Amino acid sequence: MKKIINEPTMFVDEFVEGILLAHPDLLKTAADDRRVLVRADAPVVGKVGIVTGGGSGHLPLFKGYVGRGLCDGVAIGNVFSSPSSGQVLEATKAVSGGAGVLYLYGNYGGDVFNFDLAADMAELEGIPTMTAVGRDDVASQPKERSADRRGVAGIMFAFKAAGAAAERGDSLEQVAAVAEDIIDNTATMGIGLSPTILPTTGKPSFELGDGEMEVGIGIHGEPGFHRGALETADRIAERLTERLLADLGIGSGDRVAVLVNGMGATPLEELYLLFRRVHQLLAEKGITIDKNYVGEYATSLEMAGASISILALNDERLALINAPAESPFFKEA
């Protein structure tokens, strides 16, 4: 596959430089490290800071959620690789306004290790931290092992809610509790149609035959639980939605937020086909969609495919999701 790149080893640093040049009013670097980005007005004195991070290759995740009403800083690694603990620490110091810092990121081994190490180092710097780990991928582990699930596109809901809680002046403990509540009530599942190509190797991350799809695939190409013939948009939406509703225990009379997410190479038109059927299914079941998002919110370079996320709503969660937010890749008026 052809790619628009220069030297493969410079891919991450060069695209981050492009982001900074395009959005100097919203983002800046911390400690002169391009891989540590913070909101332009950081630190905000008296406000809980929120730091996220993970591997590159998932725009707008994670870099796209740094801004007002979202995260305050991000540390990024190479494509699909964790940032270092030192980079996480630099982001922590850069956003610390005296009220503590919440670490909010996806459940992957390297990220967990390095964020935990950064928390220990932050403690030595006198900065209190707490951690909330996104784990919304229902295909990666059964319900009884939900603590071990991967974090995927549904973490966007946690960014929105925790960011809003921090913006209104909640304490570190309160912001962490908001994030955990959203995480506990979010479920995601995706399908893959074609692999992503890693810039440094030029090779696909997995193999998938013509006319096949992988159900339950992860955002790094991790295998799902079913591989078979490509199904219609309606059948895909039904397959994913039914699994998510069952996992969350959602039924008639409940309210939800829905995210239909593209994985990087799926036309927006196809995402709206999926949302159309999701909306029909929920209406048939007496479930109300109070909030919806359709587009690319957590990608995997040029992987073709999509995921559906559902968040069970109550009045408090909806108010937080609806709160104002702004970043280079996200705006909630």
Q: Reduce the secondary structure of 164-205 to three states and give it as a string.
A: HHHHCCCCHHHHHHHHHHHHHCEEEEEEEEECCECCCCCCEC
User: What pLDDT digit, counting tens, does each position of 33-69 carry?
Assistant: 999 999 999 999 999 999 999 999 999 999 999 999 9
Residue 257 reports pLDDT greater than 70: yes
Give the C-alpha separation, 175 to 51, whole Å.
12
State the average pLDDT over residues 146-151. 96
Q: Which of 164-178, 187-201, 296-310 has the lowest mean pLDDT?
A: 187-201
How many Cβ atoms from other residues are within 10 Å of residue 55's Cβ?
A: 22
- pLDDT band for position 1 (cuts 50, 70, 90): low
Angle between helices 109-124 and 85-95 (to 10 degrees): 50
> Is residue 279 flagged as an active site residue?
no
Query: What pLDDT is attached to residue 4?
Result: 93
Q: What is the mean pLDDT of the chain?
A: 96
User: What pLDDT digit, counting tens, does each position of 260-292 carry?
Assistant: 999 999 999 999 999 999 999 999 999 999 999
Would you give the end-to-end CA distance of the chain in angstroms?
A: 38
Query: What pLDDT is attached to residue 153?
Result: 98
Query: What pLDDT is attached to residue 311?
Result: 98
Contact 159, 235 (CB under 8 A): no
> Is residue 226 flagged as an active site residue?
no
Domains of the chain (ranges, CATH numbers): 9-185 (3.40.50.10440), 187-321 (3.30.1180.20)
Give the C-alpha separation, 7 to 308, whole Å.
35
Query: What pLDDT is attached to residue 197?
Result: 86
Give the C-alpha separation, 198 to 330, whole Å.
26
Specify the 3-state DSSP secondary structure of 273. helix
How many Cβ atoms from other residues are within 10 Å of residue 7's Cβ?
A: 10
